[in-house]
Copies of this chain bind each other. A is one copy, B any other.
Amino acid sequence: MKARQAPVISVRKRPRQARSARLVAYILEAAVRVLAREGAQKFTTARVAEAAGVSVGSLYQYFPNKEAILFRLQTDEWDQTSALLESILFNSDEPPPDRLRSTVRVFFQSEWEEASLRTALGDAAPLYRDAPEARKHKKTVTRQALTFMEEALPEVPANERAFVAGVVMATMSAIGKRVSGEARSKSEADAWALAIGEMLCAYLQRLAERKRSH
């Protein structure tokens, strides 16, 4: 019952020793397993601890509460996504639209591959969503999107470009989530990626053309 009060979520103790780090990893892996296999509803600290082969007490030594585990899972995902964007959005000589299309494809694939985890993590969102730490992590991704937009829409004024970046991010992530939940096959996920890539490119192109025609 803490969804609304933005629970404290910062890591209780920064483990310095390798052993501790391994334990944290075990717990997170167990958490992923529980979440993927049993769903958000059955995601309990007791189950996670058991799945990790650890006592509840130990679990609480590394995470201040249940929400913190979920938040960490989400954080890790954001980091991965951010790395993924980095590697595709900027590491290539292809024109921006092609890079955007690739990004969507890879992103949708990665979402689809761990669909049950993504869905469950989405279901658990109310528990960690309001954490103040969340915003910080979103910023990295936002900045990447902005950088890309500068390349893709150089002629558009900065503030409009920022807004468009938000629209593109939201579209990718919102539809990616839906695809991960509903796509029945890898190729279906790919078809969606193709369509959304196309849609985003059409949108960007139109924006660019409109500027030019002024």
Contacts and interface: CB of A to CB of B under 8 A. Distances in A.
Interface string A74-104: 0000000000000000000000000000000
Contacts of A205: 202, 206
A177 interface: yes
Interface residues of A, number: 33
A106 interface: no
A187 interface: no
Tell which of A127, A192, A198 has the most Cβ of chain B within 10 Å: A198
A167 B3 CA distance: 31
A100 to B, nearest CB: 13
A178 interface: yes
Given A164-B195, A198-B203, A203-B199, A1 B42 contact: yes
A40 interface: yes
B202 A206 contact: yes
27 contacts: A3-B40, A3-B123, A4-B38, A4-B41, A40-B126, A123-B125, A163-B191, A167-B192, A167-B195, A167-B196, A167-B199, A170-B178, A171-B171, A171-B175, A171-B196, A171-B199, A174-B175, A175-B175, A198-B203, A198-B207, A199-B199, A199-B202, A202-B203, A202-B205, A202-B206, A203-B203, A205-B206
